[in-house]
Chains A and B, each alone.
Chain A
Amino acid sequence: MTLVPYFALGTAFGFILVEAEVVSWFRIQEMFRFDAFHMYGIIGSAVVTAGLALLVIKRLALRAPDGRAIGFPPKTLGNGVRYVAGGSLFGLGWAMTGACPGPLVALVGAGVPVMAVAVLSALAGTWTYGSLRSKLPH
Chain B
Amino acid sequence: MHPLPWYIAGPLIGLVVPALLLLGNKPFGISSNFGHVCSLLSPRRFSFRDSGQTGTWNLVFLLGIFVGAVAAWRFAPPLTLRLSPATVDALHRLGLTDLSGLAPREVFAWSALFTLKGFASVVVGGFLVGFGTAYAGGCTSGHAIAGLADLQLPSLLAVCGFFAGGLAATYFVLPLILR
Shortest beta-carbon distance from A53 to chain B in Å: 4
Please pick, from A15, A26, A107, the residue contacting B68 in the complex, using a CB distance under 8 A: A15
- Are A130's CB and B69's CB within 8 A? no
B: contact size bracket: 35 or more
The tally of residues in A whose CB lies under 8 Å from a CB in B reads: 115
In the bound complex, residues from chain A placing their C-beta under 8 Å from that of B159 are: 87
Q: How far is the CA of A53 from the CA of B13 in the complex (A)?
A: 12
For residues 86 through 108 of chain A, which have their beta carbon under 8 Å from a beta carbon of chain B? Answer: 86-102, 104-108
Chain B contact residues, majority secondary structure: helix
When C-beta atoms are compared, the residue in chain A nearest to B131 turns out to be A125
Per-position contact with A for B164-176: 1 when CB-CB < 8 Å, else 0? 1111111001100
Say whether, besides A21-B81, A23-B69, A75-B154, A111 and B102 are in contact (CB < 8 Å).
Answer: yes
When C-beta atoms are compared, the residue in chain A nearest to B27 turns out to be A72
- Are A126's CB and B131's CB within 8 A? yes
In the bound complex, residues from chain B placing their C-beta under 8 Å from that of A56 are: 18
For residues 2 through 17 of chain B, which have their beta carbon under 8 Å from a beta carbon of chain A? Answer: 2-17
Q: How far is the CA of A98 from the CA of B71 in the complex (A)?
A: 21
In the bound complex, residues from chain B placing their C-beta under 8 Å from that of A94 are: 129, 140, 162, 165-166, 169
In the bound complex, residues from chain B placing their C-beta under 8 Å from that of A88 are: 132, 161-162, 164-165, 168
When C-beta atoms are compared, the residue in chain B nearest to A20 turns out to be B9
- Are A91's CB and B166's CB within 8 A? yes
- Are A18's CB and B132's CB within 8 A? no
In the bound complex, residues from chain B placing their C-beta under 8 Å from that of A82 are: 135-137
- Are B22's CB and A64's CB within 8 A? yes
Which of B7, B63, B99, B151 counts the most A-chain CB atoms under 10 A from its CB? Answer: B63
29 CB-based A-B contacts, threshold 8 Å: A2-B24, A6-B60, A7-B63, A13-B68, A14-B71, A16-B13, A26-B83, A26-B103, A27-B81, A27-B83, A49-B10, A85-B161, A88-B165, A91-B163, A91-B169, A92-B166, A94-B162, A95-B165, A96-B125, A96-B173, A111-B77, A111-B102, A115-B122, A118-B122, A118-B125, A118-B126, A119-B126, A123-B130, A126-B134
